[in-house]
Amino acid sequence: MTEKRREQIVFAILFLYLLFPTLLGLFLAKDLRGWGMHVIYFFAGLGVYVIPLTLLRKRSFLYLSFGLFWARIIDVIHMVMHHATTSILFVYTLTLSEPGEFWELISSFWFLILIVLAIGGGYLYAVHRYIKNEYIFPRRYRRRVMLVFIAFYVVCGIGLAITNSKIVNRWLPINHEDLRTEAFVGVEKANPFNIALASYHVINLYAGLEQHEKLVKDFSFGMDSTCASAPTDALVVLILGETIRYDHMGIHGYHRPTTPHLDARQGQWVSFDSCYSIANLTTVSVPYMLSPAHPRSGSEIYTDKTFVDAFQEVGYRTAWIADQSFGNTYMLRVANDCDFTHYQPTSKHEVSFMDSCLLKPLEEELNHFGQTHQPTQKQFILLHTLGCHYKYSSRYPAYFAQFLPDLNTESYNLQEYIQSHKPILNLPDTIFSKLKESLINSYDNALLYTDWFINKVITMVEQTHRPAVVVYISDHGENLLDDQRKMMLHGGYRTSRWEYHVPLIVWTSEEYNQLYPDKLSALENNRHKRISTMTLFHSMLSLEGIEHKRIDSTMCIDQQALIHQSVLYGLDGNLKCIELER
């Protein structure tokens, strides 16, 4: 083989490596709909490299193109996990999430990252060893190719502009539905455009969250103690769960006994069977749960305060106790304005991290009432938990591993299975079944521990002998390789009903029941109505007998006026409004 021929083969291989995410997307990305989108997607990704190649010598081009290394890694990992092009919220998770959450995610895909890094090292060696620093084609041909691709991008840009049915603010947290053709949208999904656009939106989303504290500095709902009718020793606790699916709870008919403690409390609580989250990632769902803002007018989320602040306005002592979301400025603002704030720090060096760490500060806060009893010492306490967040096997102690094999079982190690069988992206059915089994077992064990935690909180509240309410709700659900789409985790562009259907459970004490029999009756009558987590702002305040013009009775789960929503909308991983599956 001649030296020139060897160089041509090596260059072709290296060029295909650069195009690997684009080629992978043609086969894996299910959000590419129709042949038109596939064609535009491919040529958009190809042009990113062809245009510089017409201007630069081959070696310089290959070295420069290596700078997009991380964009390729992100896109490949997302497509393997979600079978879709990279979403905004996935980039947010990688760049702005807590270190513990980031390292848990990365640790589960270290084998894939190691492969990509090894290939990257081989890429650089091959460029240095075999590629000459000369132009690929004569000048006249390079000009023609460059003009063709420039014309392609111009046409696509015009197409995206003229087919947009609404002039919308693209950096608001909501990307409204539009009528752009599927073909032209393929440009936005091509690597590295998708990573660049996602990064842009993440920066603006984060900037909006950063501005929240300034925008609400002088905000007030205009509430005071006259708005509240609850007794002076009233207590309300909100357990904000994480990644809990409605259908995996034993009390909801799941075939496994994942909620034995709640089962033992039958008759003490009401569970809503059709509650859906507004989004499939904590960063987005929780602000909409806490505030009265609606996705159709997303900017309000930065200018309004939350029901935690409203409780404080009417004279409640407020507490925020959490073991997650340390880097979310929105939640930090709310937490730091509380009378008591406790964040249990996580570390990437910890093997596991469990919600039991929140029980001691909860006990201290409950004891505060008895130690400094005041005539107006009503209490609101929010517990922000890690629940069943991946890595599931890190969310429960060993003695809660009732369903085996789990991800901690050596012979069923997730990485070992994927690493030892080829091809990685198309596992044999037998191996896939074992992977799914270990994932679900670990998830159910974590849910079993969550049931224990919820019962522990209820027991502690019960022992105060106060008119008390404990509300449990999850921020979103989870994909567990449920169907032929083989979707895992949450926060992707493609969505499923398992990511949005969440549990909403209300427990009330005997003392509360005697005071509010009408509310108990309404809770029972409303439990089959289809609602979203946006009812939480109105419901939490209404449960405590607080009345104000900002509280909508048609969105209060304890009011007979609660409206059943036949159609519900949520936000996908690209912050786009979608109709939620039943």
CA distances from 326 to 4, 148, 322 (A): 56, 48, 9
Angle between the 34-55 and 58-65 helix axes, to the nearest 10 degrees? 130
Residue-level pLDDT at 425: 45
The residue with tokens 């690597």 is 191
* The two three-digit tokens of residue 360, written as one number: 């001691």
Sign of CA dihedral 12, 14, 19, 24: positive
DSSP string, 343-383: E----TT-S---GGGGHHHHHHHHHHHHHS--TT-EEEEEE
How many Å separate Cα 545 from the centre of its chain?
32
Report d(CA 457, CA 265) in Å as an integer: 13
Other CB atoms within 10 Å distance of the CB of residue 14: 22
* The two three-digit tokens of residue 437, written as one number: 């089994």
Closest to 201 (Cα-Cα) out of 574, 490, 494, 571: 574
CA distances from 34 to 87, 94, 124 (A): 19, 30, 36
Tell me the domain boundaries of the chain: 3-209, 216-579
According to DSSP, the residues that pair with 341 across neighbouring strands are 320
Residue-level pLDDT at 404: 87
Residue-level pLDDT at 422: 41
CB 458 within 8 A of CB 265: yes
* The two three-digit tokens of residue 440, written as one number: 């679900």
DSSP string, 219-279: ------GGG--S-TT-EEEEEEESS--GGGSGGGT-SS---HHHHHTTTSEEEEEEEE-SB
Q: Write the pLDDT tens digit of every residue in 95-138.
A: 665 555 556 555 656 666 677 678 888 888 888 888 888 888 78
Residue-level pLDDT at 558: 95
CB 533 within 8 A of CB 292: no
CB 468 within 8 A of CB 461: yes
* The two three-digit tokens of residue 558, written as one number: 């304890």
3-state secondary structure 395-420: CCCHHHCCCCCCCCCHHHCHHHHHHH
Residue-level pLDDT at 426: 52
Residue-level pLDDT at 72: 80
Residue-level pLDDT at 559: 94
Residue-level pLDDT at 406: 82
Q: Write the pLDDT tens digit of every residue in 81-103.
A: 777 787 776 776 666 655 555 56
Report d(CA 415, CA 228) in Å as an integer: 54
List of E strands, 411-568: 468-474, 479-480, 488-489, 501-508, 531-532
Q: Does domain 216-579 have CATH number 3.30.390.30?
A: no
Per-residue pLDDT of the chain (582 residues; tens, 9 = 90+): 688 888 888 888 888 888 888 888 888 887 777 777 888 888 888 888 888 888 888 888 888 888 887 788 788 877 877 777 877 767 766 666 555 555 655 565 666 667 767 888 888 888 888 888 888 878 888 888 888 888 887 887 777 666 554 433 333 343 444 444 555 566 778 888 778 877 777 777 667 666 666 777 777 777 877 777 778 889 999 999 999 999 999 999 999 999 999 999 999 999 999 999 988 888 888 988 998 887 766 556 777 889 999 999 988 999 999 887 666 778 888 888 899 998 876 544 444 578 888 999 999 999 876 665 555 579 999 999 988 888 888 888 889 989 988 887 754 444 444 444 444 445 556 666 777 888 899 999 999 999 999 999 999 999 999 999 999 999 999 988 877 777 777 766 667 889 999 999 999 999 999 999 999 999 999 999 999 999 999 999 999 988 888 889 999 999 999 999 888 888 877 777 777 877
Helix or strand (DSSP H, E) at 569: strand 569-571
Vertex 581, ends 577 and 582: CA angle to 5°? 140
